[in-house]
Structure formats: C-alpha cells, structure tokens
Structure 1
Amino acid sequence: MTKNIVVIGSTNVDKVLNVERYAQPGETLSVDAPQGVKGGGKGANQAIAAARSGAQTTFISKLGTEGNADFMVEGFKEDGINTDSLIWTDKYETGQAYITVEASGQNTIYVYGGANMAMTPADVDQLGEVIGQADTIIAQLEIPTDTIIEAFRIAREHGVKTILNPAPAKQLPEQLIVLTDIIVPNETEAALLSGIEVTDEQSLMDNAHYFFDKGIQSVIITLGDKGSFYASADDHGIVKPQKVTNVVDTTAAGDTFIGALSTRLADDLSNLTTAMAYASKASALTIQTQGAQNSIPTTAQIEAVYGEMN
C-alpha cells in the first residue's frame, strides 16, 4: 500500500565548494570550480527521498518570494511531490546553506534559516486537514520548535505517526518529546541530547533508555558506516550497513535514510528491521554521488543495484 507521507521542514538553497582538505585557522586555500547552486534543506531532502521511494508525499515548507527557490519547486513537482502546502513570504529570503565538501566525502555545513525560521504554528493550523490525512509526518529542527509541536499535536489528534529527526541537535522541550513516536538521531546528535557518548552497543542502549524515560517509544540511531541501531520496549539490535568503497559525498545520507524508511514502515513497526535495511541501501547509493538532492535514489535505482525489495 502506498504511504501518505507529510514532511514539514526546511528548504535551503545550497552553495557548495569542493576542497582537497579543510583550511586551518588563518590559512587560505584555493579550490576547484564550485559545484554552484543546488537544492537542499533537510526537510526538502527527506520529502524527495520519500517521493522517490514511492510515497504519496506532501511537503510543508516556507519559502521566500525572491525566486531563489523556484528551481527547487519545479524539481519537487517533477518528483511528484504535492506542493500545494508550500507557504510563501516576502518578508524573508529562502533559507540558504553554505557547504564545504572535503576529498574524503565529509562535509561541513553553515545554515542561514531565513524563511524556514519564520514558519509559525498559525501557518500549520491552516494545513490541519493535510496533516490529519497522512499516515506519517516527519520533522527536523531547521524550523521553529513551536511550529513542529503544533504539527505533531494535530498529527496525534488524528492518529498520525510522528517521526522526529533532531537535527541540528538541541535540547528538546517536553511538549515535543511527548508527541514524538519515533526519534531518529545520528550517533553525535544522540550523544548531544542524552549526554551519553556512543562507544558500543551498551552505550546505544543507554541512549535509547534516555529517550524511553522521556516518553518516546521507538529509537533509531544511525551510525554511518557502522549501520543503524534500533530499540523499542521489547527489542533492539543493529542493522548492518551496505558496504561502500567509493564514498564521494555524505551530505544527504541521513535525510535519505529517514525519507526512505518512512515509506516502508508498517503502522505497527512490525517490519522495522526490513524498513531500515531498505533505507540503508538508499543511503549507500546517496553517498556514492556528488551533491544532495540529485544523489537521492529512486526505488528503481535501489532495486537495480540490490534487487527487488518489498
């Protein structure tokens, strides 16, 4: 059955530089030709990942009317994303991200929130019917927290599953935690939230119990090339990663994982490890291509490499 996914979050215009290595403080380095302007934002990335994995996807985001994001909106439409719930403002520019990608594939990102940070609970209230009809809603922390709380409140009232990607990591208010069904940080974000460094499976369980004690019932922690960890009240484990020998750019790996995951999860999470394995395959393809949104694979591309999946 095709999933109805709503993603609420950020849209950024990415400005990307490729470098051999990062400059030291006070050092000047020359760079090759920049990649130029590309589409980004964690919300946009996750919406594209969900759409390319076959979900009926609606994206809720706030954009500036200055035109910087027009090419992205056209791209959303080409991917089949419902753009009717995009919100426009002439008071702020569309969000922007400045990304430096090292030769190893690692990256650093500096974000200007712009219109993303101007999205309000009142904006969300006008889209209550859209949220209420979804199977799952996904949010990140590149929009105001009170806006996410309002979206998750509406979702909870309608029995819609909520997935929170706490990135960039910051302390979460109780009102948001109690409305979150599944939390999906990476290992760094988990440690920043819990204060427990991830070093082994026991420390992963300690992190999970931190979130359980806060009221979240399901925890997934992505571990990069070590796979992904999951824990619920009655089960836990690690889903092994796909082996990748030619890592090019990790920019959208986590977003791809979350968007792809949401399209395969059963309502009762009974197929959690299968859904995580699918998401891992999607991420493995993402990191082998330069760029963010252009690197996010479709189901057909995933199955061409790894075989047909349920």
Structure 2
Amino acid sequence: MVNHVVVLGSINVDTTYHVNRFPQPGETIAAQSKSSAPGGKGANQAVAAARSGAQTVFVGAVGSDNEGQYMLEALKENDIDTSHINIDKYHGTGSAAITLDANGQNDIMVYGGANQAMQPGEFGDLSELLAHTDFLIAQFETPQAVALDLFKQAKEQGVTTVLNPAPAHEIMPELLQYTDVIAPNETECALLTGIELTDEASMLKSADYFRERGVKHLLITLGDRGVFYATPNGHGLVPAFKVKAVDTTAAGDTFIGALCSQLEKDLANVEDSLRYAQRASSLTVQRMGAMPSIPTGEDVKAALKQE
C-alpha cells in the first residue's frame, strides 16, 4: 500500500557555513567552507516522504526569483507534485543561514519570505486533493492560520493531520482541535506544555495535556534516547539507532516525512513506523546537507536488515 501525503510547509534555500566552533557574541571567526542546498522544514519532510515511497504533494509558496525556480525543480526531481505551490510576486523565496560545527551540531537563522506571507484561503478549496490523501503534515515555518484552514478541510475528508510544532511557539487552541498527531522534540514539548520531561510519568502528563486539547496521539523525539509515543491504545519508547553524526540538519524533518510514508492512518503500526523513521533519520545525520542527506526507502530498508 502506498501512502498519499500532502505537506503544507516551508521552502528554503539553505546556505551552510562550516566552522570548527560557534562564535562567541561579538566574535568574528573564519568559515572553512560554504555550501548551498535546497531545504526548508516542509520541503525536507516532503522529500523524505517521497523518497520512502509516498505519493507526495506540496502546498506552499516561493518567490518569483531564481531561488524559487531552483526549489521547484528540486521538488519535481523528487517526484513531488508542485502544482499547489504559489508564486509570490512580492516576497522572496525563503532562505536559511546554517552554521555547522566540527561536532555536527548546528544553529540556524531563517528568513521566512514567501513562506510567512501565505494567507488563509489562498489555496482555495482543496477537497478534491484531500479526498485522496492519507496524511496532511504542517510545521511552524508557515502561518498557523493557513495550517488551520487546511486542517479543517482535511478533517472533512477523513485525513489524518500531523503537526510538527517546530520552531516551537504558542499554538492556536483551535489548531490543536483539528490535529490528530503532534510530534515535537523534547525541548519543544516542554516549551509548549510547561512540563519538564524527566521520566515516563512526565511524558504521559504531556500526552494528557495535548489530549485535553483535542490531540489523540503524541510523539516526542528524544534525540539519541529514541522516541516516546502515547496513543489511546498504549505508550512506549522506541530506542534510537547509535551512529556518529556529522550534520544534524534535517534529521527531524526526515523522521516526520519517513514516518508518514509508512504509518497507517489509525497508527496501528506505530512502533514499526517509528523504528523505520528513526533509521531514516540516523542515515540523514551521517551525511552533509539538508535535502541531499535524506535517504531513499531502499537505503533505509537495507540499513534495517543489517541490524
């Protein structure tokens, strides 16, 4: 069975500066090298889903600039349907400046551009598209009001909605009411709930927090400790794969996209899907760049067989 995934999200051109260490405030340091690659949380998640076999459609916006054309081509090369990507004549294509240190850690500055200029209703009635969709994914590099508009349409068509609240900031209460699955990392989860994650009890308390606000399923990525899941049918921790990271950019995005390529709409196979998604993410961090580092389904399955 092939999952049909729609991603509402950001499209950025990433410029990465490779340094030995991060600069101190006010300090100027030399970068060893500089590279550019297609990225953006939404685009990365769509590519991860498509490379793992999902039929993938992107909903978003780029500027009427060279970077926008570059990103449209990059998505098309990954067999992603770009017919619902609008061209914004007034705002540039989103971009990100990434500083990557010798340990594979990064910090990122994002210019939203066309991503943040999107307005509710600008994509019109997507009911025909959503009628054939299994999962709709959104993040927070695009306006929450746009996500709410599409999530409402998705629920009318029986689509499972997935919210990746990154970067974390206060969530519109109504958006949570239309969210089936929320997937923060541990830092984002603590910021959103005010609950410090110290043990299983605190993670279950976080699940209760979201469930009281309408979200049935919680997935918390815990870095090298794995992923905690809590659904109406149970909870548990799926351990991470131990690898040496060279670049953590797009690791979380790979996880989300790969997960939705494998997951059943009712999350009945959540543990197997989480294991697959974590294996995909573990391959991403062993490669440089955002989109270029995302593995194919064949890569992931081969790696799982080696376990």
- Which residue pairs with 2:3 in the alignment? 3
Question: Aligned to 1:124, what secondary structure does the other structure show?
Answer: coil
1:72 aligns with 2:50: no
- Which residue pairs with 1:136 in the alignment? 135
8 Å Cα contact 1:124/1:147 also seen in 2: no
Alignment of 1:1-310 (within 5 A): 1-35=1-35, 37-244=36-243, 246-307=244-305
TM-aligned CA deviation for residue 132 of structure 1 = 3.2
Q: Which runs of 5+ in 1 are unaligned?
A: none
TM-aligned CA deviation for residue 173 of structure 1 = 1.1
Question: Aligned to 2:142, what secondary structure does the other structure show?
Answer: coil
Q: Which amino acid aligns with 1:8?
A: L
Question: Aligned to 1:270, what secondary structure does the other structure show?
Answer: coil
8 Å Cα contact 1:85/1:127 also seen in 2: no
8 Å Cα contact 2:127/2:157 also seen in 1: no
TM-aligned CA deviation for residue 156 of structure 1 = 0.4
> Distance between the aligned counterparts of 1:100 and 1:180, measured in 2?
33
> Distance between the aligned counterparts of 2:259 and 2:188, measured in 1?
19
> Distance between the aligned counterparts of 1:87 and 1:290, measured in 2?
29
Residues 92-126 of structure 1 show CA distances to partners (whole Å, capped at 9, x for unaligned) of 00011111111111110111110001111222324
Question: Aligned to 1:193, what secondary structure does the other structure show?
Answer: helix
Identity score, percent: 48
Residues 172-206 of structure 1 show CA distances to partners (whole Å, capped at 9, x for unaligned) of 11110000000000000000000112222222112
8 Å Cα contact 1:9/1:143 also seen in 2: yes
Question: Aligned to 2:247, what secondary structure does the other structure show?
Answer: coil
**TM-score where L is the length of structure 1:** 0.96
Report the RMSD for the aligned CA atoms in angstroms. 1.3
TM-aligned CA deviation for residue 133 of structure 1 = 2.3
Question: Aligned to 2:58, what secondary structure does the other structure show?
Answer: strand
